[in-house]
C-alpha cells in the first residue's frame, strides 16, 4: 500500500513539474521577439548588385552623374529632383570618387555615366531583364550625347517585391559606346525595403551597395 502511494505521489509530482515546464516555455515563447514582425527599418532593407564580369573597371577613369532621377512608375516615367533624389545623386558621386573615379561634366566625355532611378510597381516580382525591356526607353542616351543609341542588357538578375518601390543606381559604359554602337550596363545596384527614399540615410544605403562591390575600383 505504501509503495502504491509513493508511486502515485511521484506521478503527481512529475505531472506538476511537466505542467510547470510547459507554462514557463509558453511564457518565454510569448515574450520572444518575432524575427519577421519586429525587424528594424535597416533590417528590412535589401541590397542587390550585379555587374558585367568581362568589364575591366580599372580602365575607366572619369564619370558623370545625371542631374535628376528617372522616376519609373508602373509604365510611366518622368524626371524629378527632390531632396531625397539630390541626396542619392550626391551619395552616388561620393562613392564613385571614393572608388578612385574622377567626376567630370556630362559634356567632358566621361567614361562612365551614372543614372539614379526611383522605381515603383504594383507587381510583386520584377526581373531586371524585363525591367530593361520595359523601361529601357526611359533612359535618355541624348543626355549623354549618343543620339540614336540604345542600351544593352543590364547584368542584375532579379529584384523581388518592389511593390513599395526601389532605388536603382546604374553605371553605363560611355567609353566604349561608339565601338559597341550601344550603351552597355557595367554595374547596377538596387535598394529596396522600408525607409528608402530617405535623404538622411541615402549615404549609408549607397555606401552599402558599393561595399559589396569591391571590384568597383580604378587606378589613376
**Which pLDDT value is given to residue 163?**
56
Identify whether 218 is part of a domain.
Answer: no
pLDDT for 22 equals 47
The pLDDT tens digits of the residues spanning 76-122 come to 788 999 999 999 999 999 999 999 999 999 999 999 999 999 988 76
- The span from the CA of 202 to the CA of 200, in Å, is 6
How far is the C-alpha of 187 from the C-alpha of 52, rounded, in Å? 6
Confidence of residue 155 (pLDDT cuts 50, 70, 90): low
If you average pLDDT over residues 51-74, what whole number do you get?
A: 91
* For the ranges 5-19, 49-63, 147-161, the one whose mean pLDDT is highest: 49-63
Strands (E), 110-213: 112-120, 125-127, 150-151, 158-160, 166-173, 182-192
Pull the grid cell for residue 37.
Answer: 514582425
- Output 84 or 146, whichever has higher pLDDT: 84
Q: Are residues 126 and 19 in the same domain?
A: no
Q: Which residue has the higher pLDDT, 199 or 164?
A: 199
- Range of lowest pLDDT (47-61, 86-100, 154-168): 154-168
Question: Are 26 and 129 in a shared domain?
Answer: no
- Mean pLDDT across the stretch 139-167? 67
Residue 132 counted as domain residue: yes
Determine whether 106 is exposed, middle or buried from the number of CB atoms within 10 Å of its CB (0-12, 13-18, 19+). middle
Residue 64 has pLDDT above 60, yes or no: yes
* pLDDT for res 45: 80
Considering the domain architecture, whether residues 138 and 194 belong to the same structural domain is answered as yes
Domain containing residue 166? 43-211
- β-pairing, 69-73 with 76-80? antiparallel
The burial class, CB within 10 Å (0-12 / 13-18 / 19+), for 187 is: buried
Q: Is residue 38 part of a domain?
A: no
Judge if 154 and 89 occupy the same domain: yes
Residue 158 domain-assigned (yes or no) = yes
User: For the chain, what is the domain count?
Assistant: 2
CATH number for the domain harbouring residue 197:
3.30.160.670
In angstroms, the CA 143 to CA 106 distance is 8
Q: Please check the confidence at residue 175 and state whether its pLDDT lies above 90.
A: yes
Contact 129, 153 (CB under 8 A): yes
Q: Can you tell me the distance from the alpha carbon of 94 to that of 117, in angstroms, rounded to the nearest whole number?
A: 17
Amino acid at each position: 500500500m505504501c509503495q502504491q502511494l509513493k508511486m502515485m505521489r511521484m506521478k503527481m509530482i512529475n505531472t506538476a513539474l511537466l505542467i510547470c515546464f510547459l507554462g514557463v516555455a509558453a511564457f518565454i515563447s510569448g515574450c520572444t521577439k518575432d524575427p519577421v514582425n519586429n525587424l528594424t527599418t535597416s533590417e528590412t532593407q535589401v541590397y542587390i548588385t550585379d555587374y558585367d564580369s568581362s568589364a575591366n573597371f580599372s580602365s575607366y577613369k572619369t564619370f558623370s552623374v545625371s542631374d535628376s532621377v528617372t522616376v519609373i512608375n508602373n509604365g510611366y516615367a518622368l524626371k524629378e529632383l527632390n531632396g531625397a533624389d539630390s541626396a542619392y545623386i550626391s551619395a552616388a558621386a561620393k562613392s564613385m570618387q571614393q572608388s578612385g573615379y574622377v567626376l567630370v561634366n556630362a559634356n567632358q566625355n566621361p567614361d562612365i555615366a551614372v543614372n539614379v532611378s526611383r522605381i515603383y510597381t504594383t507587381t510583386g516580382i520584377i526581373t531586371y531583364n524585363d525591367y530593361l525591356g520595359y523601361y529601357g526607353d526611359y533612359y535618355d542616351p541624348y543626355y549623354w550625347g549618343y543620339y540614336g543609341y540604345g542600351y544593352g542588357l543590364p547584368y542584375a538578375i532579379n529584384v523581388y517585391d518592389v511593390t513599395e518601390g526601389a532605388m536603382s543606381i546604374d553605371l553605363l559604359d560611355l567609353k566604349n559606346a561608339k565601338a559597341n554602337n550601344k550603351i552597355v550596363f557595367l554595374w547596377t545596384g538596387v535598394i529596396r525595403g522600408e525607409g528608402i527614399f530617405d535623404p538622411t540615410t541615402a549615404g549609408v544605403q549607397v555606401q552599402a551597395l558599393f561595399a559589396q562591390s569591391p571590384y568597383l575600383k580604378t587606378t589613376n
